[in-house]
Structure 1
Amino acid sequence: MNGKLYDKALALINRGASPGDVYPLLLEAMDAGDYRAHYALGTWYLYGRHIKVSNKKAVSLFRQAAENDVAEAAFDLAVCYEKGEGVRKDLSKAAAFYLRALRCGDESAAEELRRMFYWGFGVEKNRMIASEFAAFEKPGPEKPGRR
């Protein structure tokens, strides 16, 4: 995968380029196999940024990116399954995609998995497994007097 087209699109959007200039680059990047572009366009469709909202198109693009290990896409797809946006609500699929997001490097998915196992949302309730996901949480600043 050559990420130059996606990187160029990202640089343009960060410099305030018009979505009309960036959209064709994202399409080219998608055609070139850069699944980050799938994710980027998926967010445009999900949130109506620069394009008409279409949750179904967003889900389709997220799924393609998630299946190719784009962590953010797996996380957002999990949220779609959890909320029933663009897909039928399915908490077990949400948990599976949160796990995929975590496996791909999105540590914020650990908190979602902890919550799902703690309460038994889409998975069998298991507080012991839930506690294992707490290990991924970033430690906060040390409290005074504690070591």
Structure 2
Amino acid sequence: MDSAYASAPGVDPRYQRALRLMQREGNEAAAYSLLRAAADDGDGMSIYAIATWLLHGTYVRRNLKEGNRLLRLAADENIASACSDLAVSYYRGWGIRQSYNEAARYYLRAFLLGDVAAAEWIEKLFYWEGTKIAPRTVAREFGRLQAARGL
């Protein structure tokens, strides 16, 4: 869970409490309960946290398919870390059908949302797999984000 995000304005207090429970007490059961409730109400960071728990088998049984489904939901809420993690899943084919187009799309979204480390992965992806990526995939992602910003 992202402690830098937890102090940002507008963060769901249940996410903040879950983070404190994990950091101070390691109380996974209570933290999961808070995260689940916030995720059920649509909190993007809580959805992302539950997704990572599912992907790694933390407290819950490992479930790549469900973890990736939740990553997609969090990515739709513009959570940069969720976009990066989903890009990795698509690139590697972890619990999801491998797609270099989708990997490029989500790495680009992560970068445009402020994840500067995603730039290195975009470069590597285009260098090694560039011929397998449709330029329209990248163009659509730029268009989506411009529309979301009202440009």
Q: TM-score range by the shorter chain?
A: 0.7 to 0.9
- 1:3 matched to 2:18: no
Count of equivalent residues: 125
Tell me, which stretches of 5 or more residues in structure 1 are unaligned?
126-147
What TM-score comes out, normalization by structure 2 length? 0.77
Quote the residue 2:96 is aligned against.
87
User: 8 Å contact 1:2–1:32 — kept in the other structure?
Assistant: no
- 1:67 matched to 2:73: no
- 1:96 matched to 2:97: no
Tell me, which stretches of 5 or more residues in structure 2 are unaligned?
1-9, 136-151
Aligned mate of 1:57, from 60, 66, 71: 66
Q: Quick one: percent identity of the two aligned structures?
A: 38
Per-residue deviation, 1:2? 5.1
**Deviations 1:56-88 (Å, cap 9, x if unpaired)?**
011011000001100000000000000111110
Q: Which amino acid in 1 is paired with 2:29?
A: G
Quote the residue 1:78 is aligned against.
87
Instruction: Name the CA distance, whole Å, in 2 between partners of 1:93 and 1:124.
Output: 10
Quote the residue 2:31 is aligned against.
22
**Deviations 1:105-136 (Å, cap 9, x if unpaired)?**
111100010112222344269xxxxxxxxxxx
**Deviations 1:2-30 (Å, cap 9, x if unpaired)?**
51111111111111332111111001111
| Aligned-residue CA RMSD (Å) | 1.6
Higher helix content, 1 or 2: 2
